[in-house]
Amino acid sequence: MERPPSPSWRTIARLIRADLRARYRLATKPARVTLGGIELQLDDRWVTPPIHAYIYRGWYEDTERRILEQTLRPSDRVLELGAGLGFITACASQIVGSENVVAYEAIAELAELAATNCRLNGVSPTIINAVLGDHEDVVEFQVDEGEFWRSARSPMIEGATRRVAQRSFQGELSRLKPTYLVVDIEGGEAALLGDLTLPDHVRAICVETHPQVAGDDATQRMLMKLMTHEFVLDLGVSGGNVAFLARA
């Protein structure tokens, strides 16, 4: 059996620099960092020590960023579900233009922080404080202030309950006619994408799956539903729990 090639000195040097940068950030705890060319303002209320460490090491949404850089076209119109800190929102806006990005975020403070981070990067997409569901409503949402990325509508998530506006996902698809969906909603993706046949104008989906919340069966059903409606799961682009699917 052939031994795999040894890493080049450039690869080793890059890894050493990344490790030293992470160690420096962990020691100094800067309030602003730059990841993949995107500047982020870190609010200590929402960016807690575990999330700080993830960001300082450069791991925060790195798979999603890579997927967007490889697959998002300048002509796309993006609908993002779960803006978080606005990192992917800003990435998408730099590729397709602010006027072609609409993002939803359930937590009002995070929606404001995402807008701030977008402005830091010279972009101004539309960011809406609401969730998307099967109809217009006001719904309960569990907010985990210790780790905001665990916040969700799922009753399995512990946190303070808030009342949040819900807009119709079908209605927004018809109104905005996005070509590219970015979905990171902590388990809600299984029901939202699994129960709906997406219109033809949606050509691609970048979705973070959460089988530990939604369940393995529900997650698999969602993926199978998409694949039976002309979407192909691209294993060469997908990574970890983040799946990229595009119409054949």
Q: Answer for the pair 185, 82: CB distance below 8 angstroms, yes or no.
A: yes
Percent of residues, the chain, with pLDDT higher than 90: 65
Give the integer Cα–Cα distance in Å for 229 and 61.
Answer: 27
User: What are φ and ψ of residue 213, in 5° steps?
Assistant: -105, -55
DSSP state of 99: G
Give CA separation, 5 vs 2, 8, 9, 22, 65, in Å: 9, 9, 12, 27, 27
Which pTM does this prediction carry?
A: 0.88
pLDDT of residue 141: 87
pLDDT-derived band of residue 239, with 50, 70 and 90 as boundaries? very high
pLDDT-derived band of residue 2, with 50, 70 and 90 as boundaries? low
Place of tokens 């960001």: 55
Looking at per-residue pLDDT, the higher value among 160 and 243 belongs to 243
Report pLDDT digits (tens) over 28-73: 678 899 988 999 999 888 788 888 888 888 889 999 999 999 999 9
Give the integer Cα–Cα distance in Å for 90 and 100.
Answer: 12
Nearest to 182, CA basis, from 65, 37, 97: 65
Q: Is the pLDDT of residue 24 over 80?
A: no
Q: Answer for the pair 198, 173: CB distance below 8 angstroms, yes or no.
A: yes
Give the domains, in start order, of the chain with CATH numbers: 60-247 (3.40.50.150)
Sheet holding 242-247, edge to edge: 126-129, 101-105, 78-81, 180-183, 204-208, 242-247, 231-233
Sheet holding 160-168, edge to edge: 131-133, 160-168, 137-143
Report pLDDT digits (tens) over 120-136: 999 999 999 999 999 99
Q: Is the pLDDT of residue 234 over 90?
A: yes
Q: Answer for the pair 209, 242: CB distance below 8 angstroms, yes or no.
A: yes
Give the integer Cα–Cα distance in Å for 94 and 109.
Answer: 23
Q: Answer for the pair 166, 132: CB distance below 8 angstroms, yes or no.
A: yes
DSSP state of 98: G
